[in-house]
């Protein structure tokens, strides 16, 4: 397998594919895609660099495109739903813009922050499912979500700027807290990922001076984008079917398990 190098380290096509598949699988599941990418990069001995951090952000856009394709007619083109999505996006946009430098240089790439976030988030998911009861009058139409409810979901999502927290988990918990059904909370989370990841990627490309990327780096970004898109396309469909018959407890237990195993085996 050929190697593609850049000035600050090496990254193989195989590593790109592995990370992109992980991104496609984990972006919309409540297990933290960023956290898994950081842990996987450590296991694969991929050197921490500004490009790697940009790569991990960029391939999320590929996964989000899968949602655009799947929900283009039912939600993406619905003005009422788009208004609620944009409203929920604002808190994260503000926090992400203000704290961008701190997040990228001090939080991204830190495996200890990831394992703690995974562990705590796993406990919260399990507790949520044990004590949360879906009401009969729960919201089953995203068009009826109020501005206040959208803002609360957006504030919940903003916590996911911390690697390992999971944007999906934060928004799903926020959605259920304000009264959405489990399925609608998940769908709102899917849709909220569109402006969130698009903005995060755009901001990073500007801050990182995307025009300075080498031809090899652009190739790696394109490859990761495509792989994450197709992986996420099938994962989204699977997740929607899964939650109709199951709770989030398995994902919570998985987060706790991964955090413990990674801490004992790798970080000890």
| 74-90 residue pLDDT tens | 877 788 899 999 999 99
Looking at the domain assignment, is residue 90 inside a domain? yes
Tell me which of 199 and 9 has the higher pLDDT: 199
DSSP letter for 48, please: P
Q: Is the dihedral of CA 221, 32, 189, 82 positive or negative?
A: negative
Range of the domain at 209: 8-265
Is pLDDT of 52 > 80?
yes
The region that residue 49 occupies, defined by phi over 0 for left and psi between -120 and 50 for alpha, beta otherwise, is beta
Look at residue 5 and give its three-state secondary structure.
strand
What's the confidence (pLDDT) of residue 67?
92
Kindly state whether residue 88 falls inside one of the protein's structural domains. yes
Better-scored residue on pLDDT, 66 or 72:
66
* For residue 10, pLDDT beyond 90: no
Mean pLDDT for the chain overall: 87
Q: Higher confidence at residue 105 or residue 259?
A: 259
Given 3-state DSSP classes, what are the helix, strand and coil percentages for the chain, each rounded to the nearest 5? Answer: 75, 5, 20
> Coil, strand or helix: which one is 211?
helix
Nearest-angstrom CA–CA distance, 149 and 202 = 27
The pLDDT score that the predictor gives to residue 119 is 95
pLDDT for 145 equals 95
Looking at residue 1, its pLDDT comes to 41
In a domain, 1, yes or no: no
125-181 pLDDT, tens digit per residue, is 999 889 888 888 899 999 999 999 999 999 999 998 888 889 999 999 999 999 999
- The reply to whether 151 falls in a domain is yes
pLDDT in tens, 16-32: 999 999 999 999 999 98
Pairing between β-strand 9-12 and β-strand 3-6 as defined by DSSP bridges: antiparallel
Mean pLDDT computed over 232-251 = 92
The structure's pTM equals 0.84
What is the number of structural domains in the chain? 1
- Is the per-residue pLDDT at 8 higher than 80? no
pLDDT tens-digit series, residues 167-200? 999 999 999 999 999 999 999 999 999 999 888 8
The contacts of residue 268 (CB under 8 Å, 6+ apart) are none
């Amino acid at each position: 397998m050929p190697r593609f190098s850049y000035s600050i380290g090496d990254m193989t096509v195989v590593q790109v594919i592995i990370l992109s598949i992980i991104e496609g699988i984990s972006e919309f599941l409540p297990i933290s895609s960023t956290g898994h990418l950081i842990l996987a990069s450590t296991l694969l001995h991929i050197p921490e660099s500004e490009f790697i951090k940009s790569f991990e952000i960029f391939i999320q856009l590929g996964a989000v495109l899968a949602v655009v394709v799947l929900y283009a007619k039912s939600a993406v083109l619905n003005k009422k739903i788009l208004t609620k999505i944009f409203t929920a996006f604002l808190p994260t946009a503000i926090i992400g813009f203000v704290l961008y430098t701190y997040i990228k240089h001090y939080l991204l790439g830190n495996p200890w922050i990831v394992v703690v976030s995974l562990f705590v988030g796993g406990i919260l998911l399990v507790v949520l499912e044990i004590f949360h009861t879906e009401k009969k009058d729960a919201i089953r139409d995203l068009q009826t979500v109020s501005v206040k409810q959208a803002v609360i979901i957006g504030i919940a999502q903003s916590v996911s700027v911390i690697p390992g927290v999971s944007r999906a988990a934060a928004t799903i918990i926020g959605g259920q807290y304000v009264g959405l059904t489990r399925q609608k909370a998940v769908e709102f989370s899917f849709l909220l990922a569109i402006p969130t990841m698009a903005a995060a990627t755009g901001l990073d490309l500007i801050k990182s001076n995307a025009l300075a990327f080498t031809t090899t780096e652009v190739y790696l970004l394109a490859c990761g984008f495509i792989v994450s898109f197709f992986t996420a396309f099938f994962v989204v469909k699977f997740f929607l079917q899964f939650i109709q018959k199951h709770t989030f407890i398995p994902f919570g237990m998985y987060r706790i398990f991964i955090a413990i195993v990674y801490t004992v085996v790798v970080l000890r």
